[in-house]
Amino acid sequence: MFGILLGLIVLMALAYLGWSIVWIAPIAAGVVALFGGLDLLPAYTDTYMGGLVSFAKAWFPVFMLGAIFGKLMEVTLMATSVSNVIAKVLGVKHSILGIILSAGFLTYGGVSLFVVVFAVYPLALSLFEKADIPRRLIPGTIALGAFTFTMSALPGSPQIQNLIPMKYFHTTPTAGMAMGIISGLIMLIGGFLYLDYRKKKLKAAGEGFVAPKDYTKSENTKLPNFILSIIPLIAVVVLLNIFKLDIILSLLAGIILILVFNLHRYKQFISAINDGASGAVIAIINTAAAVGFGTVVKVVPGFADLKAMLLTLGGDNPLISEAIAVNVLAGATGSASGGMGITLEALGAEYLKIAQNLNISPEVLHRVASISSGGLDALPHNGAVLTLLAICGMSHKESYLDIFVVAVVIPVFSLVFVILLHSIGVM
């Protein structure tokens, strides 16, 4: 059991230092195997790689099609068109809310988090300049829209964080409807109120918008029709949740619609699809590497003791145990999907068995796992956080506090709140 904890510390420390999880996960798994009495080479070639390949086999089509869908939305400027209209409808006075909803709408429509950051940032710059809002609030605003309520809480989201639990609990993307909606509203409203408070406080202190050195306006760029731009996003969500189409077919339909609506941009298609597919390889290998680590953890003798400890953390309530385990491992790996993958790979069947004995719906387990993945994952070493800060030209010192509040503190609070409601029989 000491080896398991040491392996987690190695994984978390090296990830925090910015080292790629692709090669630190097998190192951490080696530490676990060494202390667990396993032969190192078979532990890597058989156990670790078996877990990695199994996850990649199950999820690569979703990762790839999701990345291609998002990249096509970006290069055709359809994502920018959708964001622009939402922001204009709300007006300059509500710039923060406009950016939150723009990012949220794109994320809920199936666009990957990283693409949303690229698509919304230029619009955020323009709106924040007009409203004279300090630029340091842009990362927190985009994080609230893309990394929280639409990623993990709202039922029906096509994001991978909402899809992974389906494999372990035999559920659908809309699982835990009431719990997800309440949690999502807490994240959205709480996050917005915090950012609005921060805006007023900074402006009262005399801080306003300061343009980055390389800032050039692109307001004259001709954007695609808003109605045509929104159709692929709506199609993915509707086909997935109403017509119960598989996520692979839903994303394929969305991709086809983007191509059909943008035939005049056909020269951009090949590079966009290539870039999306390449990005998907990196994304799934990162997550699968973390799952491989969890597979090694699961086979060492000390795991029985760790499992017993985790399963008793919440007393008789498996939801508390699941929430803690997913949060801790998402924080350790710096990955929402990676942390959830490790937890459910190791403990998913056990949680399901306990929940069924206690008459707790698998749908509730699904939603708790999904919401939990979007809590401690957004610690400073998280890849999406690092990308967001880099794109916005901000440092951790300048902007991470706001990201931490909207993407860690408030989501964790919402999780505690909905588990409490479930525990007292409200839902």
Q: In the chain, what is the straight-line distance between the N-terminal and C-terminal CA atoms, in Å? A: 36
Mean pLDDT of the chain: 90
Looking at residue 214, its pLDDT comes to 64
Cα 365 to Cα 38, 154, 174, 351, 353, distances in angstroms: 32, 14, 12, 8, 11
Nearest to 59 by CA among 208, 246, 198, 302: 246
| pLDDT tens digits along 262-317 | 999 999 999 999 988 998 888 888 878 888 888 898 888 888 887 778 778 877 78
Cα-based angle 349, 353, 355 (whole degrees, multiple of 5): 115
Query: Which residues of the chain, if any, have pLDDT below 50?
Result: none
| pLDDT tens digits along 315-345 | 778 999 999 999 988 887 778 998 898 899 8
Looking at residue 331, its pLDDT comes to 84
Contact 156, 241 (CB under 8 A): yes
Confidence (pTM): 0.84
Looking at residue 220, its pLDDT comes to 62
Looking at residue 227, its pLDDT comes to 96
